[in-house]
Structure 1
Amino acid sequence: MEQIIQLHDKQFKPFIDSSKIQDAILALAQKINTTYEGKNPVFIGVLNGSFLFTADLVRHFNGDCEVSFMKMASYEGTSTTGIVNELIGLNLDIKDREVIILEDIVDTGNTLEKLFHELKKKQPKSLAIATLLFKPKAYQKDIPVDYVAMEVGNEFLVGYGLDYDGLGRNLKDIYIIC
């Protein structure tokens, strides 16, 4: 892993290396493979942050599946605004389909709650949530997070899809603010 990095006005230090991330995704994919064996689920990645997680997880899925994306936004800098905006909607019919929402990180749950209720209106057969990172101490909602690759504290993280004002998504490891 690299040493301390600078993104805009903040410094970040190594937190989770890429091999641990990949091991956690593989373990998560194995659970999803067991549950969805013989089914044709739709994976819905939440942009921008989940693009790497979505790609890596779907590569480990053993059956037929479809992939789509939605873009939601609720962050400015290092904190949530509390307001969730849908920037790009779903362009796929999910009625009577098995649907798995793929999140890079679940913290307060505001984005997840809005997305979950929007997708429920489209009448999927089932709707599950999978996340790379889960912040249980920050989570404020009652919607169950079905698949969690790793639990983390309430610190601000960047890398592997996570950003700080647009920077850091391309880092292969995850960094924590200094």
Structure 2
Amino acid sequence: MDNHDIDGDLTEMLLTEDEIHAKLAELARRIEVDYDGRKPLLVGVLKGAVMVMADLARELKIHADMDWMAVSSYGAGTKSSGVVRILKDLDSDLTGRDVLIVEDIIDSGLTLSWLRENLESRGAASVEICALLRKPEAAKVDVDVKYVGFEIPNQFVVGYGLDFSEKYRNLRGVGILAPHVYS
């Protein structure tokens, strides 16, 4: 789906598919250097990180295992509730593993802060974070994120895995959702 397929639903396109792919390639090169000689476990956070995880993993030139976890703090709204629930847990044992959490976006940081602590408590050798997008103005807690693709304004964005009520995930880029769509 391209932005012209949803004419009027977006106020602005922030990132094109090409810009996203170029940034993921840049992040992959950094990850390869940092994990040289090790095989990280990429932990994708469902559902939003599906596109990021798939494209990042394909870009990597090192071996990496993949697993998925679903956590939620949103429900059907546009703002985090702050209460984290595990909807799908990992299948992998983290003991002694180098874990790289792959996220689509960091808003408040509350969910990601909780997730990092949760995975560290499972005996991982290391836990780092890779996020395609971060909203610095929305941060409520400071989360150390080793790999950040783009810093974006504190707007409601959709596309490239990000949704509103399960719509817009398949938009090839990332755009700002028009307020009339979600108000």
Write 1 or 2 for the structure with the bigger share of helix: 2
SS of residue matched to 2:24: helix
Within 2, Cα distance between the matches of 1:116 and 1:28? 20
| Offset at residue 4 of structure 1 (A) | 7.4
Q: So what's the TM-score if we normalise by structure 2? A: 0.90
- The total of aligned residue pairs comes to 175
C-alpha change, 1:156 and 1:4, in structure 2 (3 Å) is farther
Which residue in 1 is equivalent to 2:37?
38
Choose between structure 1 and 2: higher strand proportion. 1
Alpha-carbon distance in structure 2 between the residues aligned to 1:142 and 1:123: 22
Distance 1:77 1:169 in 2: 16
In the alignment, the residues of structure 2 paired with residue 77 and residue 12 of structure 1 have an alpha-carbon distance, to the nearest angstrom, of: 18
User: 4+ residue stretches of structure 1 with deviation over 6 A?
Assistant: none
TM-score (norm 1): 0.93
Q: Using the alignment, how far apart are the partners of 1:143 and 1:95 within structure 2?
A: 22
In structure 2, the partner of 1:67 is: 66
1:111 paired residue number: 111
Superimposed CA distance per residue, residues 109-147 of structure 1 (whole angstroms, 9 cap, x where no aligned partner): 111012111101111111100000011111222330110
Identical aligned pairs, as a percentage? Answer: 35
* 1:100–1:127 contact (8 Å) kept in structure 2: yes
CA contact (8 A) 1:157 1:177 kept: yes
**AA aligned opposite 2:158:** V
Distance in 2, Cα, partners of 1:39 & 1:111: 27
Query: Distance in 2 between the 1:135 and 1:60 partners?
Result: 25
RMSD over aligned Cα atoms: 1.5
Could you list the per-position Cα deviations for residues 55-113 of structure 1 after superposition, in whole angstroms to 9, with x for gaps in the alignment? 00011111111000100111223222222211001110111111100000001011101
Q: Confirm or deny that 1:48 pairs with 2:47.
A: yes
Long gaps (5+) in structure 1? none
8 Å CA contact 2:3, 2:171 repeated in 1: no
